A and B are shown apart, each in its own frame.
Chain A
Amino acid sequence: MSGETERDRGPDGRFPGFDVLGQAPHWDEVTAGVVAARIGPPPALEFFTAAEAPCARALLHLLTGQDEQGGEPAVPVSEMVDARLAAGETDGWRYADMPEDGQAWRDTLSYLDADAGRRCGTSFAGAARADQVALIQAVQDLKSADWHGLPAARVWSLWTRYACTAFYAHPFAWTEIGFPGPAYPRGYKNAGVGKLEPFEVRDSRPAEDPVKEGA
């Protein structure tokens, strides 16, 4: 499977008029503070070096489908991942055949640059989009085989885990998927198939399973 899609339409607008931030006044103060910190201009990079940053940015934008938007991405995933690594906010564990997360990020970014150099004579960030896609697709396709001395599946898991955790922590993403976000102290009163709260918005394309086999 691939990140490429023939569809000419993004997921925007499945929930017309829904904006999770409209609910922020109903969130408890502590939670609202945590979410607010994710909005607005992201902090400067601390963890990634100047040499690593463009590669991290290109990779993370590709993984989260934010590579083709003009200007700044809706969700600053590379800054969010950077902040997490700078704070040492890992899950603690590491595979015996992988370095700890911070070092694994540094190592794999340099391997991506090396692969790009071999394939197209540029850095990963400097490569054409089609080449970037091919380069990371090649890592995913290796499955558990070796990539620069590391099990490719674990590298892929590292990248996607950090990318998804950052992207789906952002209210932009919650709005995109119709998820109303923090729910304290408000809670929910209308649970059940097909039931909505007054602040939820029904999917405008309910029969459209976006990636259904054969669709």
Chain B
Amino acid sequence: MGLRDGVRARNESAWLLPNDGTRTNHRLRRDMRRFADEDEIDLVIVGCGAGGSVLLQRLARSGWKVAALDAGPFWDPDTDWVSDEAGSHRLYWTDPRVIAGADPVPMGSNNSGRGVGGSMVHYAGYTPRFHPSDFMTRTLDGVGADWPVGYRELRPYYEQIEQELPVAGERWPWGDPHGYPYRPHPVGGNGEVFLRGAAKLGITAKVGPVAIANGRFGNRPHCIYRGFCLQGCKVNAKASPLITHVPDALAHGAEVRADAMVTGIAVDERTGRATGLHYVSGGRERFQRAAMVAVAGYSIETPRLLLNSASRRFPDGLCNDFDQVGRYLMVQGAPQTAGRFDAEIRMYKAPPPEVSTEEFYETDPGQDYKRGFSVQTVSPLPITWAEHVAAQGHWGTALREYMSDYVHWSCLGALCEFLPLPENRVTLADEKDSYGLRVARFSYSQCDNDRALARAAQSVMEDILHAAGADEVITIQRYAHLVGGARMARDERHGVVDENCRSFAVPNLYLTDGSVLPTQGSANPALTIMAVAARTADHLIAGGIT
């Protein structure tokens, strides 16, 4: 049995999509099973992104009565998405949030998704694994935290998900060396520059890993290299749960309830067990009963929902007996450095994710900082590029002139492993959103190690671009990704969930998204979030329907 047949036997999503040039199986959605609020279903999930969708698909396949509620729409790439930056605003979570701290983290388009598919609808598509060291940074490097689970336990799930997305790339020499199911994509101008500069400096750089099949995959067509990966893939070539896990889930009796904003988790004061979800749909307050609850709202909304689900038993927020909810929220430092070439690079003409190096990922004993960073191509489209140029101080005519030079620039981005710190956290602000719920306040400050990493990463990117022949380099300081905020730990004094993502405080409540990650490495988090959710699914399936 070939690889594709093997994938199809356990996840048929790519074969359930239409092959007539349209992108959505409307019949599958129309015929979707629909549970009544008063049905006590086996599991109800909050959020239908990376974590929620994988859990949904796995459990539906095992015969569970399972539904996922998502605050946003059930996207149709044909009619809802555009090949346009400004027109993609609805892909982002734009409900009010307050950002604070010494180094506040802007939200929105950079890191917050909305609707079925979650942030993976607009992520770049990079899907590297974490390194084995990421699971024990406290032991190895004296910083961060050790996970209660190791790389070895997660590896089979990495392999499964890499096949299901599927991932294309060269054989990966870093971390736990491994191959990918699909050969690497051809590189565009930006990738060429990276490879050339890195080769001159003796830095190993590789093509991939990218969750875009190189070739057809089921009924998903080949990538057309249109460069608008971050605006939602209209081709169905780039993986997101909307096309990689939701179709198979629906075919196996799961319900996806879109446009349903969860406002609270109900817990029975007597039994101490979760009983279902309060949510708002069509302007009406409703309640879905369930024997188990999983929250997969990502690192801001998951802690916020727990904090907003306070009760007599949990006066400071659900699962927050030890003041752990919302803490250790992480973002990666993501300085972005561009280089100017007389030749035309036209970096928009390929998927933004092309080439990457993890040479600087691990702690280097010769440096005065711990942990490290990765470097990847990023290929900003005009609006995002204007932000990079404006950050140099240009405005007016000077900005216009600089921008007219767009086709000559190549752009690299780093992901620096900023450390998990207890005071980097979500709390509740006093102001309320349109549902009457207190909004999240996200406070973030860097530590000295973080700043040293960002400086080192910028310097490496400048070196690579200069080595490739750039005559000028410019940098913007940014952040990327979110993880943590309700981390897994060995006990309830150090985290919110155990190694299986089960909350310490409520035995039938699970968190299955990026918020459970105790460290972040220098890897884009989507693959790891999916792998952790797949592992939790196996744990639940082994335990049986309650």
Listed in ascending order, the chain A residues whose CB lies under 8 Å from chain B are 1-5, 7, 10-11, 14, 27-28, 30-31, 34-35, 62-65, 67, 89-97, 100, 133, 140, 160-161, 164-169, 173-174, 176-179, 181-197, 200, 202-203, 206-213
Question: A179-B382, A185-B224 given as contacts; is B189 within 8 A of A5 (CB)?
Answer: no
By the criterion CB–CB under 8 Å, are B99 and A96 in contact? Answer: yes
By the criterion CB–CB under 8 Å, are A10 and B400 in contact? Answer: yes
By the criterion CB–CB under 8 Å, are B349 and A191 in contact? Answer: yes
A177 to B348, CA, bound (A): 12
Which residues of chain A have C-beta atoms less than 8 A from B108's C-beta? 91-93
Residue on B nearest A37 in the bound complex, by CB: B87
By the criterion CB–CB under 8 Å, are B187 and A5 in contact? Answer: no
Our pick among A1, A91, A95 for the contact of B394 (Cβ within 8 Å) is A1
B383 within 8 Å of A (CB atoms):
yes
Our pick among B234, B392, B393, B408 for the contact of A203 (Cβ within 8 Å) is B408
By the criterion CB–CB under 8 Å, are B344 and A27 in contact? Answer: no
Our pick among B235, B393, B472 for the contact of A140 (Cβ within 8 Å) is B393
Given A92-B93, A173-B403, A209-B471, 8 other A-B contacts at CB below 8 A?
A3-B397, A62-B395, A65-B399, A92-B97, A93-B99, A185-B224, A188-B227, A188-B350
Within 8 A of A (CB), among B96-115: 96-100, 104, 106-109, 112
Question: A91-B107, A188-B225 given as contacts; is B383 within 8 A of A168 (CB)?
Answer: yes
Which residues of chain B have C-beta atoms less than 8 A from A195's C-beta? 189, 346
Which residues of chain B have C-beta atoms less than 8 A from A178's C-beta? 404, 406-407
B228 within 8 Å of A (CB atoms):
yes
Which residues of chain B have C-beta atoms less than 8 A from A166's C-beta? 86
Counting chain B residues whose Cβ lies within 8 A of the other chain, the interface size class is 35 or more
Residue on A nearest B81 in the bound complex, by CB: A30
By the criterion CB–CB under 8 Å, are B225 and A176 in contact? Answer: no
By the criterion CB–CB under 8 Å, are A209 and B472 in contact? Answer: yes
Which residues of chain B have C-beta atoms less than 8 A from A193's C-beta? 189, 192-193, 341, 343-345
By the criterion CB–CB under 8 Å, are A160 and B85 in contact? Answer: no
A117 to B408, CA, bound (A): 43
B186 within 8 Å of A (CB atoms):
yes
Residue on A nearest B468 in the bound complex, by CB: A193
Which residues of chain A have C-beta atoms less than 8 A from B186's C-beta? 191
A27 to B404, CA, bound (A): 23
B82 within 8 Å of A (CB atoms):
yes
By the criterion CB–CB under 8 Å, are A14 and B395 in contact? Answer: no
Which residues of chain A have C-beta atoms less than 8 A from B340's C-beta? 209, 212
A200 to B227, CA, bound (A): 15
Which residues of chain A have C-beta atoms less than 8 A from B95's C-beta? 92
13 contacts between A and B (CB under 8 A): A2-B395, A14-B404, A27-B83, A30-B82, A34-B87, A65-B397, A91-B108, A176-B404, A178-B407, A184-B224, A184-B235, A185-B234, A206-B408
A198 to B232, CA, bound (A): 26
| Least distance between A55 CB and chain B CB atoms (Å) | 17
Interface residues of A: mostly helix, strand, loop or mixed?
Answer: loop
A153 to B488, CA, bound (A): 37
B37 within 8 Å of A (CB atoms):
no
B89 within 8 Å of A (CB atoms):
yes
Our pick among A3, A64, A188 for the contact of B349 (Cβ within 8 Å) is A188
By the criterion CB–CB under 8 Å, are B399 and A64 in contact? Answer: yes
A47 to B401, CA, bound (A): 30
| Least distance between B237 CB and chain A CB atoms (Å) | 10
By the criterion CB–CB under 8 Å, are B400 and A65 in contact? Answer: yes
Question: A210-B402, A213-B472 given as contacts; is B228 within 8 A of A91 (CB)?
Answer: no
Residue on A nearest B401 in the bound complex, by CB: A210
The 6 closest A-B pairs by CB, nearest first: A3-B396, A187-B224, A91-B108, A191-B188, A11-B404, A169-B86
| Least distance between A7 CB and chain B CB atoms (Å) | 7
Which residues of chain A have C-beta atoms less than 8 A from B96's C-beta? 92-94, 100
Question: A14-B404, A177-B404 given as contacts; is B187 within 8 A of A191 (CB)?
Answer: yes
Which residues of chain B have C-beta atoms less than 8 A from A212's C-beta? 340, 471-472
B441 within 8 Å of A (CB atoms):
yes
By the criterion CB–CB under 8 Å, are B107 and A92 in contact? Answer: yes
A5 to B398, CA, bound (A): 6
Question: A64-B399, A211-B398 given as contacts; is B349 within 8 A of A31 (CB)?
Answer: no
Residue on B nearest A11 in the bound complex, by CB: B404
Within 8 A of A (CB), among B147-186: 186
B291 within 8 Å of A (CB atoms):
no
Residue on B nearest A87 in the bound complex, by CB: B89
B281 within 8 Å of A (CB atoms):
no
Which residues of chain A have C-beta atoms less than 8 A from B192's C-beta? 192-193
Which residues of chain A have C-beta atoms less than 8 A from B399's C-beta? 3, 63-65, 164
B405 within 8 Å of A (CB atoms):
yes
Which residues of chain A have C-beta atoms less than 8 A from B79's C-beta? 30
Which residues of chain A have C-beta atoms less than 8 A from B441's C-beta? 96
A184 to B80, CA, bound (A): 14
B386 within 8 Å of A (CB atoms):
yes
Which residues of chain B have C-beta atoms less than 8 A from A187's C-beta? 224-226, 235
B285 within 8 Å of A (CB atoms):
no
A173 to B546, CA, bound (A): 59
Which residues of chain B have C-beta atoms less than 8 A from A94's C-beta? 96-99
A90 to B79, CA, bound (A): 22
